[in-house]
Copies of this chain bind each other. A is one copy, B any other.
């Protein structure tokens, strides 16, 4: 008899990450990838990390390599509280193994099978994947260029038969995938409506520091700290390879989140926590982050210019993101971006189709383009290749002969 690996129901429902599978294809040499959300490695402060490692191991080597508190490293929790733009008690800060882990913990603590969870249209795919093992029912809230529409949020919060939504998951700054940002007015309206409806908010803010011309409005958590779990990350301001994030949680849920954290990995690596704490001394981020903003702004400008130049005459729609890493574009009628992708890869350019980012039926004409990983020249080349692919597919649909890749 052979061993029977009977899977849990939730595992039967798990599917490979569309993004991860696409990323694999696009690792082929010669491909310019606008697909992944990889920060530009040029922005990683390697020397500062090297100094911090040497410092930590020399001064606190034993403690930096020992088991540590599940809550996280005290000075790092204090530093997180200090850098946030509202009055945060460090006791409410929980250090996580990337902000992705925060999503897993939130799901474990707040979602039962069948629980309704509200998300933006579209939303961050990784959040849907993190929530999925707890078997909730994600529900899309109608959204416009400023984020979720308040009336629909309120209507869906309540539910029909006492099945109030457990929380709404929002990414107000330079959203993944759309790049959109909630305005001050919308934030205030959402925060007030959620508080009035008793609806908890899970606010994800990995990109908030990556603004180009002006800082975004205050987070939702600042407006109602007892009603919001706030997730943050060091991945975009220092480096993602350390997997270092944090959450700020109200007293009503912090102890349960902490217990869930203990059960999943005891604590986030203390060595990397102390490294980052050492790097952040002397106000390092205040000098470092502006250099990231400047680089990404130049690359955003290049992508916007290239799209306007190369897509001229085509019905391609997009908004110019005012920060972050992503631009969301809608291709002309007749283009299905899932089908377009292999054709684009033939021309050595990759992107992420938009449909997987929707909790409900997706808009098959959309795609997410990252402007942070590729440099300006590569962006120019990639957008030209993408435009050529789109024109080729449209020409085929009109029955015109296929052109050789240029």
Choice from B64, B67, B195 contacting A1 with Cβ under 8 Å: B195
From known contacts A11-B256, A41-B65, A271-B272, infer whether A266 and B239 are also in contact, taking CB-CB under 8 Å: no
Chain B residues within 8 Å of A66, by CB? 38-39, 41, 44, 239-241
From known contacts A100-B265, A240-B65, A265-B101, infer whether A260 and B133 are also in contact, taking CB-CB under 8 Å: yes
Task: Establish whether residues A67 and B270, one from each chain, have CB atoms under 8 Å apart when the complex forms.
Answer: no
> Which residue of chain B lies nearest to A136 when distances are taken between CB atoms in the complex?
B8
Task: Establish whether residues B264 and A241, one from each chain, have CB atoms under 8 Å apart when the complex forms.
Answer: no
Distance, CA A259 to CA B37, complexed state (A): 18
Distance, CA A199 to CA B2, complexed state (A): 9
Q: Which of A13-47 contact B (CB under 8 A)?
A: 14-17, 20, 36-39, 41-42, 44, 46
Q: Which of A45-67 contact B (CB under 8 A)?
A: 46, 49-50, 53-54, 57-58, 61-67
Q: How far is the CB of A71 from chain B (nearest CB, A)?
A: 10
As a 0/1 sequence over residues 61 to 86 of chain A, the CB contacts with chain B under 8 angstroms (1 = contact) are: 11111111010000000000000000
> Which residue of chain B lies nearest to A110 when distances are taken between CB atoms in the complex?
B8
Contact-size category for A? 35 or more
As a 0/1 sequence over residues 256 to 289 of chain A, the CB contacts with chain B under 8 angstroms (1 = contact) are: 1001101111111111100000000000000000
* In the complex, A362 has a CB within 8 A of chain B: no
From known contacts A129-B263, A263-B133, infer whether A8 and B111 are also in contact, taking CB-CB under 8 Å: yes
Task: Establish whether residues A64 and B11, one from each chain, have CB atoms under 8 Å apart when the complex forms.
Answer: no
* In the complex, A143 has a CB within 8 A of chain B: no
Task: Establish whether residues B46 and A200, one from each chain, have CB atoms under 8 Å apart when the complex forms.
Answer: no
Chain B residues within 8 Å of A217, by CB? none
Q: How far is the CB of A252 from chain B (nearest CB, A)?
A: 5
Task: Establish whether residues A259 and B100, one from each chain, have CB atoms under 8 Å apart when the complex forms.
Answer: no
Distance, CA A199 to CA B6, complexed state (A): 10
Chain B residues within 8 Å of A109, by CB? 7-8, 11
* In the complex, A132 has a CB within 8 A of chain B: yes
Distance, CA A319 to CA B342, complexed state (A): 64
Chain B residues within 8 Å of A134, by CB? 8
Choice from B36, B112, B239, B272 contacting A272 with Cβ under 8 Å: B272
Q: How far is the CB of A389 from chain B (nearest CB, A)?
A: 26
* In the complex, A348 has a CB within 8 A of chain B: no
Choice from B7, B39, B241, B265 contacting A104 with Cβ under 8 Å: B265
> Which residue of chain B lies nearest to A98 when distances are taken between CB atoms in the complex?
B265
* In the complex, A398 has a CB within 8 A of chain B: no
Chain B residues within 8 Å of A101, by CB? 264-265
Task: Establish whether residues A227 and B110, one from each chain, have CB atoms under 8 Å apart when the complex forms.
Answer: no
Distance, CA A16 to CA B257, complexed state (A): 11
From known contacts A17-B259, A198-B2, infer whether A240 and B50 are also in contact, taking CB-CB under 8 Å: no
Task: Establish whether residues A265 and B97, one from each chain, have CB atoms under 8 Å apart when the complex forms.
Answer: yes
* In the complex, A309 has a CB within 8 A of chain B: no
Task: Establish whether residues B65 and A11, one from each chain, have CB atoms under 8 Å apart when the complex forms.
Answer: no
Choice from B41, B130, B200, B224 contacting A264 with Cβ under 8 Å: B130
Chain B residues within 8 Å of A15, by CB? 259
Residue in A38, A111, A241, A270 with the greatest tally of chain B CB atoms within 10 Å = A241
> Which residue of chain B lies nearest to A132 when distances are taken between CB atoms in the complex?
B263
> Which residue of chain B lies nearest to A67 when distances are taken between CB atoms in the complex?
B240
The 13 listed contacts between A and B (C-beta, < 8 Å) are: A2-B227, A3-B199, A3-B227, A4-B198, A5-B250, A14-B260, A97-B97, A101-B265, A104-B263, A129-B259, A241-B271, A271-B272, A272-B272
> Beyond the given A3-B200, A44-B65, A66-B239, could you list 18 further A-B residue pairs with CB under 8 A, ordered by the A residue number?
A4-B199, A6-B164, A8-B134, A11-B256, A14-B263, A17-B262, A46-B57, A49-B65, A67-B240, A97-B243, A108-B133, A129-B263, A133-B263, A239-B271, A244-B269, A264-B264, A271-B272, A272-B272
7 closest A-B pairs by CB: A3-B227, A65-B239, A41-B62, A53-B53, A46-B61, A65-B241, A241-B270
